[in-house]
Amino acid sequence: MLHQLPRCAPVDHSAHAGHTTLHSSGLMLMRYFITGTAGFIGFHLAKSLLKDGHTVAGFDGMTRYYNLRLKEKRLHILQGMEGFHFTNAMLEDQEALQNAIEFARPDVIIHLAAQAGVRYSLENPKAYVVSNLIGSWHVLESAKRINIPHLMLASTSSIYGANTSIPFKETDRADEPLTLYAASKKSMEAMAHSYSHLYGIPTTAFRFFTVYGPWGRPDMAPLKFTKAISAGTPIEIYGHGKMSRDFTYIGDLIESIRSLSGVVPCETNRVADIDTLSHQAPFRVVNIGGGQPVGLLDFIETVERCVGKPSQRKLLPMQQGDVPRTFCSPDLLEALTGSKPQTDIYTGMEELVKWFNTYKNELDL
């Protein structure tokens, strides 16, 4: 069976002695260091791990790229949970990051913090260089310094850029990024591979495909459309609606990340033919998506059903840097973990709309 794929021998945690414990349920409790814990994905991941008794050291810069009240509320929830410790600092602050990681002595580093957004990279390109390149380099340096057993890095489907091969496979060439955001993430992957080769750092880079759900980013279509349709204001539909996206529900994404955290890249878990496991380093790239693209107009109709109101539509041409469709091959993810994202778009959006109706006034959404 796919989920019985052999994994690497247990990592020697002697350098982390006293930190890894056994829960009464038999679950091995571990220490995680997660960048971006005030962000959408980092919040959900930290919350899931803390609920299971793991320790999470969070690190985030609390930037004002979007609604700071939303970030503060996420952080407030995490700070009320046992086992969470937080450092408020920027990735560019190498000393603060290094000190936080060395204090945490984690078993796994999961680097989620980044300057996100395809369109914003046209307005403020420097933010992407500083955060996604310099900041990620600082993470790599700290991972090397403590000899981390497993480093995990968040990448993006935007890397596939002008690739015309559908569905997007991890083994496809991704050498034609269409935005600086995509280029910065591709560069991060390349830097991580070099560190994995030079210093033997087991590294998994995972590429996201349009993640959505409760506590999501207000600059992305799922929440932006929900807000506009609820308020009766027009929504802007780019590409005249002739686009499609592989939407990934946040709960599915967290399950996939957690499953991959236990699959440390090595030869004993290489998947024949479809694997990206490097022959020069313990480094692997994995798509996280369900492989079920949804047309933009179908997605809008789903939001309308969940909100209970029709939308006012403003059709516009394709924006600079956008791609007409994203379509993920989940085969490698399924081979490595035995599962893939499966939540349908209606079920996922129903949960997002419920959350929006609960928090829209409190968070000024």
| CA–CA gap between residue 340 and residue 332 (Å, rounded) | 9
| CA–CA gap between residue 167 and residue 199 (Å, rounded) | 33
In single-letter form, the type of residue at position 58 comes to: G
Is 181 one of the annotated active-site residues of the chain?
yes
Q: How far is CA 270 from CA 40, 275, 336, in A?
A: 31, 6, 9
Determine contact, residues 49/258, Cβ cutoff 8 Å.
Answer: yes
Q: How far is CA 300 from CA 214, 308, 353, in A?
A: 17, 12, 13
Q: Please tell me whether residue 292 adopts helix, strand or coil conformation.
A: coil
Q: Whose structure tokens read 């796994």?
A: 108
What is the tally of helices (H) and strands (E) in the chain? 12, 15
User: Which is the catalytic residue, given 128, 181, 195, 249?
Assistant: 181
Q: Whose structure tokens read 């949804």?
A: 294
| CA–CA gap between residue 159 and residue 177 (Å, rounded) | 6
Q: How far is CA 306 from CA 57, 76, 241, 300, 352, in A?
A: 36, 28, 19, 10, 9
Beta strands 84-88 and 55-60: pairing type?
parallel
The pair of three-digit structure tokens given for residue 143, joined into one six-digit string: 């991972």
- Catalytic machinery residues: 181
